Structures are given as C-alpha cells and as structure tokens.
Amino acid sequence: MTLSILVIGYGSIGKRHVEILEKRNKVSSIAILTRQRNLPYKTISSLDEISSLNPDYIIIASPTNQHFGQLMFIEENFKGKKILVEKPIFHSVFDLKIASNEVYVGYNLRFHPMLNKIKTVCEGKDIWTMNVFCGSFLPDWRPDRDYRESYSAKKESGGGVLLDLSHELDYIQWLAGPLEIDYVVNGKISNLAITSDDYFSFSGRGQYDTYININLNYFTRKPIRRIIIDGQDISIQADLIENNLNIIEDGKELHFSWSDHNINDTYEAQHQAVINGDLNNICTYKEGLRIINLIKKIQEMNKNLYK
C-alpha cells in the first residue's frame, strides 16, 4: 500500500518531515500547504483544497496557534485519516472531540533509544528524584533567519519555552506518570528581543511520589539537554546532545553511547509508528491534551504567584 501525504506548513520542521518522508519507499505523493511557491512539490494554499488531494496521512507542522483551526477543519471534513500534529497539540486548551480520524502528537523524543533504555531500567524501581535541564540559545536555532521573526519569539504565535520545549514535560510524564505541581516560575527574564517566555522552572511530583525538577530556557549559549535520575541502588545520568548514558546500579557502572544516532531517526520511527498504528511509544491525542492542560495549569499558577 502506498501513501499520499500532505504536510501543512513548510518552516524548518515541515521541511524536516518532507525530507524524511520522501525517502520512504511506499509514498506515492507529497503535497504541501504553504504560501511559499516554486517548491519541487505540489503545493496548495488553503484548507479547502485538501479535498482535491484526499491524502492518507496529514502532518500539521504550522505555527502552534494554527493547529486547532486546522485540525478542527480536517476532523469536520474528512474521515479515516492518520494525522500527526507537531508538538504541542495546541497553544491553549480547546475542547475538540476526535471521532472520525486517528490523531497523534509529535513528541518524537519518545523514540530516542536512550529514553527507551531509561524507561526500561526505571520500571519497577524506587525512584526518588528526576532532574531535567534543557537550555539553548534561541538566536542560534535557525542561523539563516532573524530569531526575532520566528514563531518561537512571539507569544501570540504560540512560542515560548513552555510550549516550544514541552518535550521535557512529555517524556517526564512518559517516564514518571502524571505530574503534580508544587512550584513554578515561568516568564521572560533575559534581554532577548522576544515577547514569549524564555525561562521555566518546575518543582513537583510524579505518579509514585518521585520528586521532579525541570528547568528550560532560551538563553544558554552552549546547548545542554540532560537528565539525572536517582533512586534506591540506582543513579542515571543522560546527555541527550552527546547521546551518552551512564547507569550505576547495585554498585556496577555501565556506559552506553549512541554516537551515530541522528535525531531524524526518531522522526522516522515516529512516522513508522503512526502509519503502522503502533501505539507503544507514540503520543496519543489524549496524552497531547494532558500536556496542554498541564501547561495551562502551570500558566495559571504562575500568574497567581506573580500578581
């Protein structure tokens, strides 16, 4: 069976999806909904034109504040489609029932072999703490573009670390279960010329009373993405940039490295899971809504804290 594919949005993430999908053997066609022209693909410029394509698989890779309207249009006008919405699912909480299509959310880090190793090692263990840090420098994200013009820089477009870097909120809940919030700080604290939030600090607990700390920012000049986990007879240190993992368990130290791993591998595995209906690692629509509800709760708590 060959697939016809539509990618909505042709920014950096949309381009990545197209480049990965066009390498698949069983893809009959790829079209893009974009205002850009002179692309080496069939393009359309409006949602109304989707019916002329009748795609099997739709990827929504537009700015976050457009996700809701686009997904609602597809749900109301099509049936039996597989849909992958880039993370986060929405920029705010919306009540949209999905009954006609299969919808998944693009938290591709769930397909990283390191996180899968951590998940396996932690199962059944008494884990006391999980500490997560993800910091990078927003102006370096897209060197060919003024960072001030990116959707990440604009609050009104759904940008900001809390939404943009919600991978960490997702994979921590994937590892530790639903989060309870004890304390949060979220806002803009640097001199970056942006209207979105550039700092987030979270303290809370997971499903089994694991204490969780998460720190995210847009202003660390040398990128860092690390996880430190401690529990009874176990300590784990993971570097998601260097792809190195150290585990000390029962007095024995083990080192794992995925030096040849490419982040595109996680996108490819994610597409494979959606196409095959393999729900083992994929973020479901329900789980994606859980993330945006958590984000809304964090925003409300932060607002009340700093009245």
In angstroms, rounded to a whole number, what is the distance separating the alpha carbons of residues 71 and 291?
17
Of 108, 127, 158, which residue is a domain's last?
A: 108
Question: Do 90 and 195 sit in the same domain of this protein?
Answer: no
Note the pLDDT of residue 218: 97
Across 194-206, average pLDDT: 97
Strands (E), 123-233: 127-137, 180-187, 199-205, 211-217, 219-231
Query: Domain of 259: which CATH number?
Result: 3.30.360.10
Of 108, 137, 163, which residue is a domain's last?
A: 108
Note the pLDDT of residue 245: 99
Question: Do 84 and 120 sit in the same domain of this protein?
Answer: no
Please give the share of the chain, as a percent, with pLDDT higher than 90.
90
Question: Do 44 and 33 sit in the same domain of this protein?
Answer: yes
Query: Of the ranges 24-28, 33-37, 122-126, which one carries the lowest mean pLDDT score?
Result: 24-28
Note the pLDDT of residue 56: 97
Which ranges constitute the DSSP H helices of 12-138?
Answer: 12-21, 50-53, 67-77, 113-122
Q: What confidence category does residue 303 fall into, taking pLDDT thresholds of 50, 70 and 90?
A: confident
Across 206-234, average pLDDT: 97
Across 13-32, average pLDDT: 94
Q: Is residue 272 included in any domain, yes or no?
A: no
Q: Is residue 247 included in any domain, yes or no?
A: yes
Question: Do 135 and 252 sit in the same domain of this protein?
Answer: yes
Can you give the residue range of the structural domain that contains 128?
111-263+285-305
Question: Do 290 and 161 sit in the same domain of this protein?
Answer: yes
Question: Do 43 and 163 sit in the same domain of this protein?
Answer: no
Q: Is residue 270 included in any domain, yes or no?
A: no
SS3 175: helix
Q: Yes or no: say if 32 and 11 are a contact pair by the CB < 8 Å rule.
A: no
Q: Is residue 276 included in any domain, yes or no?
A: no
| Total-model pTM | 0.93
Note the pLDDT of residue 306: 52
Q: Is residue 199 included in any domain, yes or no?
A: yes
Question: Do 11 and 140 sit in the same domain of this protein?
Answer: no
Q: Is residue 273 included in any domain, yes or no?
A: no
Q: Tell me, what amino acid is at 212?
A: I
Is residue 142 scored above 90 in pLDDT?
A: no
Is residue 153 scored above 80 in pLDDT?
A: yes
Q: Is residue 297 included in any domain, yes or no?
A: yes
Question: Do 129 and 203 sit in the same domain of this protein?
Answer: yes
- Partners of residue 203 on adjacent β-strands: 183, 213
Please give the share of the chain, as a percent, with pLDDT higher than 70.
98
Q: Is residue 221 included in any domain, yes or no?
A: yes
Note the pLDDT of residue 228: 99
Tokens (6 digits) for 251: 């007095």
Question: Do 48 and 117 sit in the same domain of this protein?
Answer: no
| Number of structural domains the chain divides into | 2
Is residue 307 scored above 70 in pLDDT?
A: no
Question: Do 33 and 139 sit in the same domain of this protein?
Answer: no
Question: Do 133 and 95 sit in the same domain of this protein?
Answer: no
Across 91-108, average pLDDT: 97
Q: What confidence category does residue 305 fall into, taking pLDDT thresholds of 50, 70 and 90?
A: low
Query: Domain of 18: which CATH number?
Result: 3.40.50.720
